[in-house]
Amino acid sequence: MNDIHISGTGIWTPPDKVSNDELVESFNKYVDLYNSEHANEIKEGSIVALDHSSSEFIVKASGIKNRYVIEKDSLLNPKLMKPKIKARNDDELSFTAEVSVFAAKEALKNAGLNPSDIDAVIVSAANLQRAYPAIAIEVQNELGIEGFAYDMMVGCSASTFGINNAYCDIKSGKSSKVLVISPEITSGHNNFKNRDGHFIFGDICTAVVIEKNSQSKNKFKILDTKLKTSFSNNIRNNYGYMNAIEDKEYTESELLFVQNGRKVFKEVMPFVSSLILEQLNENDLIAEDIEQYWLHQANINMNSYVIKKLLGENFPPERAPIILDEYANTSSAGSIIAFHKHNHLTNGQKGIICSFGAGYSICSILLEKE
């Protein structure tokens, strides 16, 4: 019998760390500048004054305390409010390919494999640096991997959808060992001038090795995958190549991340818990049979809702590890970070990696430690 395993994971973490206090200080300076520059319009009532943020508000709303970003000086400059990186020539390795290679090498090391062992690369993220050539093919070339590679995007579920694709590619016989990489450079799409969202995101890159009949000493058999999508406008990023030919001049904020958080919570949370329960039922399991749930890391209140629906009010925190206090929302990478850093399964125990969000999209991966 051919079993398919997760055999190694890796992460690349940016060098710059930003605390809530740093972010709030910068944001509030921006607010003061804005309100001062638009004092007459505010007085006339044609525009509304901006409100200050606070670290207490951020923690209460999200559970986030810190985040890692690719560049902090420009992001914290109240006259810029976004990170800046040096543009690279076409003959240089792109930024997201570079960080993907870092994460991939750690995942390969943890799996006990070399790049020559891999026969496919999937780069799956909420946002991609360019349309083509595929970042995955660039990574494939840099690592010297034979076979095929492709990019894909499924919002906050991109990493788990990528794992599912790797699982299906292996199951069909198209490949035997696949790298799934998620470079989530979320600071590039976030609006740091928006009080309700300036604190949400952090940057990261994760990598996962999926392989047939793994010989790794730390392997997890994939027992089942379950996916579901339902269209919603409540989480959007409207930036794309069609903007250039549309009969509209977009503002910067119109081409950055936007969400209706209250509607997302109300609509997605029951969606997630019901999908996991359906998956468990289909595999003759109950929620208590799952030792750990590595959930999407967007908001601590979302995670608490899901896990309480599954395990009740008084669940042990280690059953559903939280990493967003340190990393913030890293889009599709969050559940993989939680799996990578907080995994205490022993042989025979089961776990679920589940990510959910924009789309709406949900993917749940049922695992067993071997």
Q: What b-and-e string marks burial along 145-161, b requiring 16 or more CB atoms within 10 Å of the CB?
A: beebbbbbbbbbbbbbb
- Distance of alpha carbon 92 from alpha carbon 24, whole angstroms: 36
DSSP 19-83: EHHHHHHHHHHHHHHHHHHTHHHHHHTSSPPPPP--HHHHHHHH---EEEES--TTTT-TTT-S-
The angle that helices 261-282 and 300-311 make with each other, rounded to 10 degrees, is 30
- Distance of alpha carbon 81 from alpha carbon 191, whole angstroms: 8
- Distance of alpha carbon 285 from alpha carbon 293, whole angstroms: 14
Collect all residues with Cβ–Cβ distance below 8 Å to 85 and sequence separation of at least 6: 70, 71, 95
- Distance of alpha carbon 362 from alpha carbon 365, whole angstroms: 10
Here the tokens at position 24 are: 């709030």
Q: How many residues does the chain have?
A: 370
47: left (phi over 0), alpha (psi -120 to 50) or beta: beta
Q: Where are the beta strands (DSSP E) in 230-346?
A: 235-236, 258-259, 290-295
Nearest to 276 by CA among 324, 230, 311: 311
Residue of 156, 205, 354, 363 marked catalytic: 156
156 carries an active-site annotation: yes
Here the tokens at position 277 are: 């329960």
- Distance of alpha carbon 328 from alpha carbon 186, whole angstroms: 10
Here the tokens at position 337 are: 């970070």
- Distance of alpha carbon 159 from alpha carbon 156, whole angstroms: 8
Here the tokens at position 289 are: 């049979």
Report the catalytic residues.
Answer: 156
